[in-house]
Amino acid sequence: MKLFYYLRALIRMKFMNKIRPRECQNVEFKRVWKDEYLKWICGFANAQGAVMYFGVNDDHEVVGLKDSKKLLEDIPNKVVNYMGLVVDVNLFDYNGLDYIELAVEPSNVAISYKGKYYYRSGSTMQELNGVALQQFLLRKMGRSWDDITNERATLEDIDRKAIDYFLKKGIDAQRIPESEINASTNDVLESLGLLDDKGYLKNAAILLFGKKPQKFFPSVLFKIGRFGKDEADLMFQDVIEGNIIQMADRVMEVLQAKYLVSPVRFEGMQRYETLEIPKEAMREILYNAIAHKDYTGADIQMHVYNDHIEVWNEGELPGGYDEAVLFGKHSSKPRNRNIAGTMFKAGFIDTWGRGFRKIREGFEKAGMPMPKVENFCGGVQVSVERTIFMQLVNVGSDVGSDVGSLSVVQLSDRQQEIAKIIKKNPFISAREMSVVLSVVKRTIERDISDMQKKGVLIREGNTSAGHWVIVHK
């Protein structure tokens, strides 16, 4: 019994040596103080703030701190002298052991330490340089990159057709009065906040309405690639250029014409062709990629595979945001405030963070799996499963066989020749194949129909601009 009480006393003593930290997003425990932790204080002040404990180990156990009273005076003095920050520093005693609690509040202005800027991101402390530093400083000033004045550009660089397109869309969405349909280019840009105090164009004006925005910003491109087994197997590609206010429309046109299937179905005598990906949900994905892209980085990229599509744009999600947050109720945190505001006026997006909810509703209605959203390679990647395309692929295949495997499919000699021709040129027409094989066009069309029924051949896109995909070897 005495042993029991002795052990219990030891457990209590050990428990009492542990501290319960303040509730805070960032809490750090350090056994000792080092001057290098001034970088950490700088990084925390530039981020979300933090509480730091010195004389406490990673298990929250108080281990004591030497010269604690001297540190109580030295630490706040160094923080003020190097960074101009006033931090809350407190000395506590726990069972005869001293420890210090230091609370760092997030700063509204950028803080530097010895001329360098640090930022706490996740569990790492980063030194900011180049574009990252520029964007950080802009955020601290309440501005975004698209709000910067571009003195090289003039109104001559603005495409009036893009302005007219924007006005029509905004009026249709009832976000712009009909009386504004003939507003001057200057008045439209000024009302959108796309001109500075001296009348110069801001970056957003060139991106949204420029005749050739690539002249100023080379990464204003949307690249689409059709791939086979992996990234090394590029079959063909398209590059969409021009202003970003019309970019989503251009991308959708190319996708429908060349990259996505639209299976035909009949309801009574009515014929329907429905895009394999819910059209409005696909538009929302495109609008998000275009509106929230970091335009100092790489192009927007879309990889189209047999079984899925990947849409990637430079610039990661806001801190604390992930897939679960996006598909739920959340606040909108636009990277490019001017671009987002203009696209809102056009009726493309809203300012309440409902874009991904619309995507979710579109995929739920179509009975398709939810897209996967994640930070990837410095940007945001949205992955969409091509369930309808895969269903078409599996038509004629053995039940349980893997897509792309060598299913037992009997092809005639001519059909095998057709498959070889299509592999060399996926865009070849039935008439061109009939010339190559010296048979009438109708014969080729019958062979193609048979190959489609067997699950060997798929048509992506429309009749005039689409292409063939060989599914099985």
- pLDDT value for 473: 46
Residue 298: half-sphere exposure toward Cβ, Cα within 13 Å = 14
Q: In the predicted model, what is the mean pLDDT of residues 435-440?
A: 89
In 3D space, the residue among 319, 349, 296, 345 whose CA is nearest the CA of residue 145 turns out to be 296
| DSSP class of 255 | I
- pLDDT value for 136: 86
Please determine, for residue 267, whether its predicted confidence score (pLDDT) is greater than 80: no
- The terminus-to-terminus CA distance of the chain in angstroms comes to 78
Taking the CA atoms of the chain, what radius of gyration do you get in angstroms?
30
Q: What is the pLDDT of residues 37-58, one digit of tens each?
A: 999 999 999 998 999 999 999 8
In which band, very low, low, confident or very high, does the pLDDT at 274 lie, cut at 50, 70 and 90? confident
Q: What is the pLDDT of residues 86-134, one digit of tens each?
A: 999 999 998 889 999 999 999 989 999 999 999 988 778 899 988 788 8
Question: Environment class of residue 404 by beta-carbon count within 10 Å: exposed (0-12), middle (13-18) or buried (19+)?
Answer: middle
For the chain, give the percent of residues with pLDDT over 90: 54
- Most distant CA atoms of the chain, gap in Å: 103
In this predicted model, which residue has the larger pLDDT, 394 or 145? 145
In 3D space, the residue among 139, 125, 141 whose CA is nearest the CA of residue 42 turns out to be 125
Q: Which of these ranges, 61-75, 126-140, 267-281, 432-446, has the smallest mean pLDDT?
A: 267-281
Please determine, for residue 158, whether its predicted confidence score (pLDDT) is greater than 90: yes
- pLDDT value for 272: 64
Count the Cβ atoms, other than its own, within 10 Å of residue 347: 16
DSSP string for residues in 390-408: HHHHHTTSPTTPPTTS---
Helices (H), 173-263: 185-191, 203-209, 247-254
* Residue 322 token pair: 């992930």
* Residue 128 token pair: 């900011």
Residue 7: half-sphere exposure toward Cβ, Cα within 13 Å = 4
User: Mapping DSSP to helix (H, G, I), strand (E, B) and coil, where does residue 278 land?
Assistant: coil
- pLDDT value for 408: 55
Q: In the predicted model, what is the mean pLDDT of residues 60-66?
A: 90
Name the residue with tokens 């066009």.
441
The strand pair at 379-385 and 308-314 is best described as: antiparallel
Q: In the predicted model, what is the mean pLDDT of residues 388-393?
A: 81
Q: Hey, which residues does 468 pair with through a beta bridge? A: 459
User: Mapping DSSP to helix (H, G, I), strand (E, B) and coil, where does residue 454 land?
Assistant: coil
In which band, very low, low, confident or very high, does the pLDDT at 7 lie, cut at 50, 70 and 90? very low
Q: In the predicted model, what is the mean pLDDT of residues 410-436?
A: 88
Helices (H), 173-261: 185-191, 203-209, 247-254
Please determine, for residue 430, whether its predicted confidence score (pLDDT) is greater than 60: yes
In this predicted model, which residue has the larger pLDDT, 146 or 396? 146
Letter for the amino acid at 429? S
Please determine, for residue 406, whether its predicted confidence score (pLDDT) is greater than 70: no
Please determine, for residue 334, whether its predicted confidence score (pLDDT) is greater than 70: yes
**Cα→Cα distances 105→54, 92, 364, Å:** 17, 20, 43
**Cα→Cα distances 430→162, 198, 199, 284, 411, Å:** 38, 60, 56, 36, 17
Most confident of 23-27, 64-68, 127-131: 64-68
Please determine, for residue 25, whether its predicted confidence score (pLDDT) is greater than 70: no
In this predicted model, which residue has the larger pLDDT, 271 or 137? 137
* Alpha carbon distance 238, 172 (integer Å): 30
In this predicted model, which residue has the larger pLDDT, 351 or 344? 344
Please determine, for residue 270, whether its predicted confidence score (pLDDT) is greater than 80: no
In which band, very low, low, confident or very high, does the pLDDT at 226 lie, cut at 50, 70 and 90? very high
- pLDDT value for 85: 93
Q: What is the pLDDT of residues 408-420, one digit of tens each?
A: 568 888 988 998 8
In this predicted model, which residue has the larger pLDDT, 239 or 11? 239
- pLDDT value for 332: 82
* Residue 467 token pair: 């292409």
Predicted structure pTM score: 0.70
Contact call for residues 180 and 194 (beta carbons, < 8 A): no
Q: What is the pLDDT of residues 311-324, one digit of tens each?
A: 999 998 887 888 88
* Alpha carbon distance 144, 338 (integer Å): 8
Task: Give exposure, 305-339, as e/b (b: 16+ Cβ within 10 Å).
Answer: bbebbbbbbbbbbeeebebebbeeebeeebbbbbb
In which band, very low, low, confident or very high, does the pLDDT at 21 lie, cut at 50, 70 and 90? low
For the chain, give the percent of residues with pLDDT over 70: 89
Please determine, for residue 188, whether its predicted confidence score (pLDDT) is greater than 90: yes
Count the Cβ atoms, other than its own, within 10 Å of residue 72: 15
* Residue 345 token pair: 């006026």
Residue count of the chain, please give it.
473
In which band, very low, low, confident or very high, does the pLDDT at 137 lie, cut at 50, 70 and 90? confident
User: Mapping DSSP to helix (H, G, I), strand (E, B) and coil, where does residue 343 land?
Assistant: helix
